[in-house]
Amino acid sequence: MEIVKGVVAENLRDTLVSVRRFCFQSLEVMQKSATAPATKQQILALQLQGMEDESPDIVGLSIQNLSSVPVSLFHASQKTLLIRALDRQAPKKEVLIKMVGTLKDESAAPALRQLSQPGNSAKVRWAAYLALARMGDQTAINLVNNKVRGIEVNDDMVYDMAPSIIYTQQKQLYDYLVELLYSNEKNCESANPDQTNAINCAYRILELLAPEIESFPIATTASGDLEASSYQEALITAREWFQSNREFNIKDAN
């Protein structure tokens, strides 16, 4: 690992974009396979160099890869680097914004509020509101709540908006997803390509909620499927559990 890491580090400033891109992709693989915190931190320090690369493609790649690094690995100076990057134009800006939101650093709030204002793209504004909601900003939480409650519950909502709610880690917003578990409307397509009939969107929402709730009675597999012999029975179990655990706790992703 040390030899490979050394070779990668030496080539991060290569004149060829393709070489640098390969190195940063290699760091992503190394970050995920490393187990020792010290090693992961060393790799992170190299990954962060991609934020300063002259190639927008590599900057975007680096932001995307950094978004999967556990927040606990970032030192204070590294968090500051990410927060300062909010003031720059960058590819994957919405990914950077949401990554900063997970830091829960109040010094980022002014920049995030500016990014939520008119004049920024719709993607950037929405990401900024989500990041502020993740940080506990009640105004942002209320705005996100009002927006999602006004959207029809279908595949678009389940695969786009529901994950955004999960990202916020805010119970007020999770409560809305719990409400949707009690619906019996069939507005979603099945993940099974052989099944053409519409299914209850509650099954997909339950897959999103299950791994996020403390002491939840239904686990999920690595692929995100419910560990249950029957999704119908799993939904009944979930409804009964939430009925008895209205003050449930959300797992801390940090």
Residue 191 pLDDT > 80: no
Instruction: Provide the pLDDT for residue 197.
Output: 85
- Please enumerate in sequence order all residues whose Cβ is within 8 A of that of 71, keeping only pairs 6 or more positions apart, or say none: 102, 103, 253, 254
CB atoms within 10 A of CB 138: 11
State the distance between the two ends of the chain, measured CA to CA, in whole angstroms: 27
Q: Determine the average pLDDT of the residues in 179-203.
A: 88
Tokens 């019996």 -> residue: 184
Computed over every residue of the chain, the mean pLDDT equals 93
CB 158 within 8 A of CB 205: yes
Q: What is the pLDDT of residue 223?
A: 87
Phi, psi for residue 188 in degrees, rounded to 5: -120, 155
- The predicted model scores a pTM of 0.91
pLDDT at site 122: 96
Neighbours of 2 (CB within 10 A): 8
Q: Contact, 236 vs 200, CB < 8 A?
A: no
Q: Output the pLDDT for position 222.
A: 87
Three-state SS at 226? strand
| Closest by CA position to 191, among listed 169, 151, 221 | 221
Full DSSP string of 157-201? IIIIIHHHHHHHT-HHHHHHHHHHTT-----B--SSTT--S-B-H
Indicate whether 253 pLDDT > 80: no
Q: Output the pLDDT for position 3.
A: 46
Query: Is the model's pLDDT at 184 over the cut of 60?
Result: yes
pLDDT digits (tens, 9 = 90+) for 92-124: 999 999 999 999 999 999 999 999 999 999 999
Per residue in 5-26, pLDDT (tens digit) is: 566 778 898 999 999 999 999 9
pLDDT, tens only, 44-75? 999 999 999 999 999 999 999 999 999 999 99
Instruction: Please state the rounded mean pLDDT for residues 216-242.
Output: 93
Say what the pLDDT of residue 5 is: 59
Predicted confidence band of residue 193 (pLDDT cuts 50, 70, 90) = confident
* C-alpha distances out from residue 51 to 18, 56, 169, Å: 16, 9, 27
Torsion angle defined by CA atoms of residues 162, 25, 115 and 70, in that order, rounded to the nearest 10 degrees: 60
Q: How confident is the model at residue 40 (pLDDT cuts 50, 70, 90)?
A: very high
pLDDT > 60? residue 1 = no
Element containing residue 84 per DSSP (H, E): helix 76-84
